[in-house]
Structure 1
Amino acid sequence: MALAEPLGVGPGVTSVVGSGGKTSLLAALARELPGTVVLTTTTHILPFAGVPLLVSPSADEVAAALATSRVVCVGSYGEKNKLVAPELGIDALASLADHVLVEADGARRLPLKAHAAWEPVIPPCTARTILVLGALGLGRPVAEKVHRPEIFCELADCKPEDVATPELVARAANAEGLGDVALVNQADAAAGAARELEALLAIPALVGSVQTGWARRL
């Protein structure tokens, strides 16, 4: 498996945090993993294209949907047609499907981010937490490419106008200490910077591209 195996994704609950490709990674893992899969969130997501959507379902409704479709998306309706955390609960979903894939924070479509005190929202039953970092944010000003730049600057000891170098991004990520494994995504477009960041991270890390379906240690 091009992404799941190197990232150590097994049965149970996998939470994805960070920025620069979380939603795309969830969709790719859902296609790749064997068995039944529930896509969901503890914050908010948009429905996944081509995936049956269950809004505030019962456990029986989820089981019935998984009997006819290997992958389903489960949530509750929030503002602007976004999905928020399911009423059923992540533990209950984990008892119904082989895999539950959780988007556990938001990044406003920016490639890099720092986390506020209330995020990410990682379910206690999570077996694997993947930290995603977008290589396309490297070499650009922090204020331009980082979600929550003021928190990032505190962690990395830099200014908003400074360039987001691999050293600064690693400093912030290492200070937060999130994830069991990191994926430096978008490496097809920024291979050199992605490799630099991978080498500086304190947790096991890979570089790769969700878009083209690969992840490996370099």
Structure 2
Amino acid sequence: MTKNNEVLHPVWRELLAGLPASGLVTLIGGGGKTSLMYYLVAGLKAAGTVAFAATTAKLFMQEGAGHRTVLVGSLAEFRRAVGELRSCPAMVTVARGLVDGAQRKLAGLAPEWLDTLAGECPAIRFIVEGDGSAGLPLKGHLPHDPVVPAATRLLIPVIGAEAVGQPLAACCVHRPARAAELTGAAEGEIITADTVAKLLLHPKGYLHNCPPEARVVPLINKAEGAAMRTAEDLAATVLAARHPAVGGVVVGSIRRQEFSFIRK
């Protein structure tokens, strides 16, 4: 495992290189999703690939040097912005507008716009955040989410390793009642690797709205120190379910830029 602030780790280079030209990457879940989005965009740009961050959900605006946010109100405006900013050195995030001007929270794009642009601009990579998790490592999805564009060919559910061993409660699960409903666990019960795997692979959970052509590669994040064993055990539990769309699991740390790929 090597760390480099400008070059993507080989695990992500291989996964992204295997995508079809017009395929989107959509990130869902919690425990580091936004950080992963910007890490992937930065690495792609450093390698000479035109890449944009985008969202179909609510997202806090990134501000400061090196970040630029573009708000578009129509497909035509989105198309124009992508054409004008494809050479922009900054990290560009495209969204539909502001949800809350005081909090600088962005509203998501229509997924159909992303499908259209992905088809029209196969040389461009769009890394899309497809849901929110209130900053928590695990989530119970409702029928309206995640919002995954149909052109998604790599779906990355992100889970924070620290969820295992914690209670299935609002302290570490976004919508714990829904997570309990989907897994058959009781609210307040201690979360196990089996609990997480059931939620991750449930067709109405993380994989709700997953396009049939998409490859699913979960990331178990924050696998640092003692949490590494927890993350590896969780990866083994997920792979043991032998879900046809899941060919492997990434275990690692976005903060440290250290990753390993555990194959089925």
- TM-score using structure 1 length: 0.90
Gaps of 5+ in 2: 1-7, 208-214
Q: Is the 8 A contact 1:54 1:62 kept in 2?
A: no
Q: Does 1:200 align with 2:237?
A: yes
Q: How does 1:55-204 map to 2 (within 5 A)?
A: 55-56=71-72, 57-69=77-89, 71-80=91-100, 81-86=104-109, 89-94=113-118, 95-96=120-121, 98-143=124-169, 144-176=171-203, 178=207, 180-189=216-225, 190-201=227-238, 202=241, 203=246, 204=248
Give the alignment of 1:10-21 within 5 angstroms. 10=19, 11=21, 12-21=23-32
Letter in 2 for 1:164: I
State the 4+ residue runs in structure 1 displaced beyond 4 angstroms: 6-9
1:41 counterpart residue number = 55
Measured after TM superposition, the shift of residue 154 of structure 1 is 1.7
Structure 2 CA distance, aligned partners of 1:86 and 1:69? 22
* Residue identity (%): 30
Aligned to 1:29: 40
Shifted more, 105-114 versus 80-89: the winner is 80-89
Between the two proteins, the alignment pairs up a number of residues equal to 218
Residues in 2 aligned to 1:58 and 1:182: alpha-carbon distance in whole angstroms: 29
After superposition, give the CA deviation of every residue in 1:54-111 in whole Å (9 maximum; x if it has no partner): 1114422321122233642111223223112236811343234610011001100001
TM-score calculated relative to the size of structure 2 = 0.75
The residue aligned with 2:211 is none
Aligned partner letter, 1:51:
H
Partner secondary structure for residue 143 of structure 2? coil
User: Contact 1:185–1:207 (CA<8 Å) still a contact in 2?
Assistant: yes
Distance 1:205 1:6, change over 3 A: farther
Give me the whole-angstrom Cα distance separating, in 2, the residues matched to 1:6 and 1:183: 15
Aligned-residue RMSD, C-alpha = 2.1
Q: Which residue of 2 aligns with 1:214?
A: 258
Q: Distance in 2 between matches of 1:92 and 1:174?
A: 28
The alpha-carbon distance between structure 1 residues 8 and 60, as it changes in their structure 2 partners (threshold 3 A), is closer
- Is the contact made by 2:68 and 2:90 (CA closer than 8 Å) also made in structure 1? no
Partner SS state of residue 81, structure 2: helix
Bigger mean CA deviation after superposition, 109-118 or 41-50: 41-50
1:124 aligned counterpart, secondary structure: coil
Q: Give 3-state SS (helix, strand or coil) of 2:96's partner.
A: strand
Structure 1 residues not aligned, in runs of 5+: none
| Cα distance in 1 for residues equivalent to 2:233 and 2:143 | 28
Look up the equivalent residue of 2:40 and give its one-letter code. L
> Could you tell me whether the CA contact under 8 Å between 1:66 and 1:72 is conserved in 2?
no
What is the CA distance between 1:164 and its match in structure 2? 1.1
State how far apart, in whole Å, the 1-side matches of 2:82 and 2:126 are: 12
- Partners of 2:161 and 2:88 lie apart in 1 by 38
How has the CA–CA distance of structure 1 residues 154 and 86 changed in structure 2, closer, same or farther, with 3 Å as cutoff? closer
